[in-house]
Chains A and B, each alone.
Chain A
Amino acid sequence: MPAKPKIAFFDFTSCEGCQLTIVDLLQTHLGLLDLVEVVQWREAKTEKGEDYAIAFIEGSCSRASDEARLKQIRERAQVVVALGACAHLGGVNTMKNRWVMENVQTYVYGKDGQNAYETYPARPLSAVIKVDAVIPGCPIDRHEFLRIVQQMLQGRTPKLPDYPLCVECKLSENSCLNKHGKPCLGPITRAGCDAICPTYGDGCEGCRGWATEANFVHMREILRGHGLSDYEIDMKLTMFNHYQMHELGAKAPLTTSTTENVPLPTSKFSAPQED
């Protein structure tokens, strides 16, 4: 084999759970380190090499000032891989995009919040730089990560399933949650996680993004059948995929406005009090 490709990990707005998944993967698949040379990985090593071929980036871009760093990584790397739902979709960080940014800042950080922390509507990496491959999920599936790394090492185009989760539920002979009164976005969500949430009894929330042929009209109908209001359905569809739903626009219209003038939720957890 030729010299080991140099890889690096980077994080933006995220919980770093995807990188943690990879650290954990190494406990059982240490051989991965024979295939690649990790030159930079803040979560797992001290040294910082700037010479890398493949950049794995976790997290969404949620600050204008992050764009420069992203572009720099893009320039240095031959291949950029979005790691996890935040990098791939914008993910849960985009939930805040439902509201006007100034209000979100004040809601979270108090009266001076706007000055305290910089923010802008969160977005996936692909909204800022060209992304060559995606490893979806919140968090990523470790086996899928490994498979995609192997495919890249073989010079193959990384391949994700483009069909919905239902396929994996059926192969595991799971009882369909939507058939038993539990809302599940499995019918429109990209498979590849082995339907882990439905397998343990929780409805899919769409963290892997939409299947290529997601049928939103009939998914909404199924969810209405569970007694969900249009607003609740919109909230479900925009939990991980706010950015995607707005990109789809008229192709998969939301029935209620989720961006303008919607009051911030009255949470049982109150906003932090100022001193």
Chain B
Amino acid sequence: MSLYILSKEKLPEFVKALQAKFRVVGPVRTETGYEFDDITDPEQLQLDYSTTILPPKKYFLPQHEVLFQFHSGPNGKGNKHLELRPIYQDVQPTVIFGVHTCDMNGIMLYDKVFAEGFRDEHYMERRAQIYIIGIECLHPCDEASFCKDMGTLTAPPIYDLHMTEMDGHYLVDTGTEKGERLLQENLYVQMAQKEDIQRLGQLLSAKWPRFRMRLKVSKDQTPSLLALGYKAKIWEQLGDRCLACGSCTNVCPTCFCFDVEDRMDINMQDGERARVWDSCQLREFALVAGGHNFRGKKSERVRHRVMRKGKYIKQVHGLLGCTGCGRCERACLVNITIPATINGLHDEMQLESGS
């Protein structure tokens, strides 16, 4: 849409103006790194952060989300009676600052997952009130990043505003009408000039060589590679190492699986039903009544996760389930990584085909 110039000194003013009307969140410093958290003082905002343990998905699908409250007991006539009251948790006007392009790709997939097929009311209600302010990645987060391989190094069209740091100020691109209003109503900004736009083009082309490629195959080949490698030996090796701790999926910007649990009040008549993040890497995930487990072995679960990321999700929603953000690699204590898995599978398949 339109491109504006926002000087760095004016950013706190913008944040302050937003705080009057929105919950403002963004990357802040922690003892060991960064995390997305509420911004109470504009100075906390660290737009040049590297990465976070959890992606901003926690604002779209909270770790623990109450779906409804219930009351059970006799009605006026003494019959058994159940009342339900839907809850829409964390639905409030929210601005998320500093979303990296990989995470925007994750949110783009979330938007499809929760809107296509069964439309998830709770997600949609919350989503409608969220503003995404992206930040252009000019450097890789660290060695674990492989966003370039996954094609997530550019901002997908889901941002309301997208900022690029350039020569001591930000160039702000408005991606939506509501983003345009968010900027105009809260700050006086000037349109970018022709020279700014040229300079931005140079800046964006110059960033690409800074990102390395880590996959031996292109992302478009992963679905067929995975189909071929379903029975590969690598899955057993990875399964032996896996701690079945679920860290990889919990930190993943595209993992969305949840479990549903009821909590009773102490009076044993009222209670609430909540959904909590679940993980396909945990033993009980595919355990069903009667004791059968569809993925009882860790090797089957590791494989399932990679299949989801590189094949199944694409078949259903048209997008790959991996953004190359590197979070699973950073979280894993036994060094199971997507690039090493894909490359290992590639090598094993090459060896098998004798080429």
Taking CB atoms and an 8 Å cut-off, the chain B residues in 96-150 that contact chain A are none
- Decide yes or no: A213 and B283 within 8 Å by CB, A163-B245, A166-B245, A167-B250 being known contacts: yes
A167 near B282 with CB under 8 A, answer: yes
- Chain B residue numbers with a CB within 8 Å of A174 are 53
B53 near A173 with CB under 8 A, answer: yes
**Given A163-B279, A176-B333, 7 more pairs with CB closer than 8 A:** A163-B244, A167-B250, A170-B246, A170-B247, A170-B251, A179-B333, A218-B241
B242 near A170 with CB under 8 A, answer: no
A215 near B63 with CB under 8 A, answer: no
Taking CB atoms and an 8 Å cut-off, the chain B residues in 35-86 that contact chain A are 35, 52-54, 58, 63-64
B33 at the interface (CB under 8 A from A): yes
B199 at the interface (CB under 8 A from A): no
- Chain B residue numbers with a CB within 8 Å of A150 are 264, 268
A32 at the interface (CB under 8 A from B): yes
B245 near A222 with CB under 8 A, answer: no
A173 near B35 with CB under 8 A, answer: yes
B8 at the interface (CB under 8 A from A): no
Between A and B, 17 residue pairs with Cβ closer than 8 Å are A32-B266, A35-B268, A147-B263, A163-B284, A164-B243, A164-B245, A167-B279, A171-B63, A173-B35, A179-B333, A187-B245, A213-B244, A215-B242, A215-B244, A217-B240, A218-B243, A222-B334
A188 near B283 with CB under 8 A, answer: no
Q: Which of A167, A180, A211 has the most CB of B within 10 A?
A: A167
- Chain A residue numbers with a CB within 8 Å of B53 are 170, 173-175
- Decide yes or no: A146 and B243 within 8 Å by CB, A170-B331, A175-B53 being known contacts: no
A153 near B246 with CB under 8 A, answer: no
Leading 3 A-B pairs by shortest Cβ distance: A166-B245, A31-B266, A170-B250
State how many angstroms separate the Cβ of B267 from the closest Cβ of chain A: 6
Of chain A, the residue at the smallest CB distance from B52 is A173
Of chain B, the residue at the smallest CB distance from A225 is B333
Q: B260-282 interface mask toward A, CB cutoff 8 Å, 1 = contact, 0 = none?
A: 00011011100000001101001
State how many angstroms separate the Cβ of B243 from the closest Cβ of chain A: 5
B266 near A146 with CB under 8 A, answer: yes
State how many angstroms separate the Cβ of B159 from the closest Cβ of chain A: 23
A215 near B243 with CB under 8 A, answer: yes
Taking CB atoms and an 8 Å cut-off, the chain A residues in 1-43 that contact chain B are 1, 29, 31-32, 34-35
- Number of A residues, CB within 8 Å of B: 37
Interface size class of B (residues with CB under 8 A): 35 or more
A166 near B32 with CB under 8 A, answer: no
B31 at the interface (CB under 8 A from A): yes
- Chain B residue numbers with a CB within 8 Å of A215 are 241-244, 334
- Decide yes or no: A35 and B63 within 8 Å by CB, A175-B53, A188-B243 being known contacts: no
- Chain A residue numbers with a CB within 8 Å of B64 are 171
A162 at the interface (CB under 8 A from B): yes
The CA-CA distance from A178 to B284 in the complex, in Å, is 25
The CA-CA distance from A222 to B243 in the complex, in Å, is 11
B246 near A163 with CB under 8 A, answer: yes
- Chain B residue numbers with a CB within 8 Å of A157 are none
- Chain B residue numbers with a CB within 8 Å of A221 are 334
User: Interface residues of A: mostly helix, strand, loop or mixed?
Assistant: helix
A245 at the interface (CB under 8 A from B): no
State how many angstroms separate the Cβ of B85 from the closest Cβ of chain A: 20
The CA-CA distance from A219 to B244 in the complex, in Å, is 12
Which of A35, A173, A187, A222 lies in contact with B266, CB distance below 8 A?
A35
Taking CB atoms and an 8 Å cut-off, the chain B residues in 154-200 that contact chain A are none
A257 at the interface (CB under 8 A from B): no
Q: Which of B243, B250, B263 has the most CB of A within 10 A?
A: B243
A212 at the interface (CB under 8 A from B): yes
A187 near B298 with CB under 8 A, answer: no
State how many angstroms separate the Cβ of B157 from the closest Cβ of chain A: 29
The CA-CA distance from A71 to B245 in the complex, in Å, is 38
B30 at the interface (CB under 8 A from A): yes
Of chain B, the residue at the smallest CB distance from A177 is B32
A173 near B54 with CB under 8 A, answer: yes
- Chain A residue numbers with a CB within 8 Å of B333 are 176, 178-179, 187, 218, 222
- Chain A residue numbers with a CB within 8 Å of B241 are 215, 218
B283 near A163 with CB under 8 A, answer: yes
Of chain A, the residue at the smallest CB distance from B33 is A175
Of chain A, the residue at the smallest CB distance from B63 is A171
State how many angstroms separate the Cβ of B276 from the closest Cβ of chain A: 8
- Chain A residue numbers with a CB within 8 Å of B283 are 162-163, 212-213
State how many angstroms separate the Cβ of A86 from the closest Cβ of chain B: 26
- Chain B residue numbers with a CB within 8 Å of A176 are 247, 331, 333
State how many angstroms separate the Cβ of B326 from the closest Cβ of chain A: 14
State how many angstroms separate the Cβ of B319 from the closest Cβ of chain A: 24
- Decide yes or no: A167 and B268 within 8 Å by CB, A173-B54, A187-B333 being known contacts: no
Taking CB atoms and an 8 Å cut-off, the chain B residues in 282-318 that contact chain A are 282-284, 298
The CA-CA distance from A173 to B52 in the complex, in Å, is 9
The CA-CA distance from A164 to B250 in the complex, in Å, is 13
Which of B63, B251, B284 lies in contact with A162, CB distance below 8 A?
B284
Q: B231-263 interface mask toward A, CB cutoff 8 Å, 1 = contact, 0 = none?
A: 000000000111111110011000000000001
- Chain A residue numbers with a CB within 8 Å of B33 are 175
A170 near B284 with CB under 8 A, answer: no
- Chain A residue numbers with a CB within 8 Å of B243 are 164, 166, 187-188, 215, 218-219
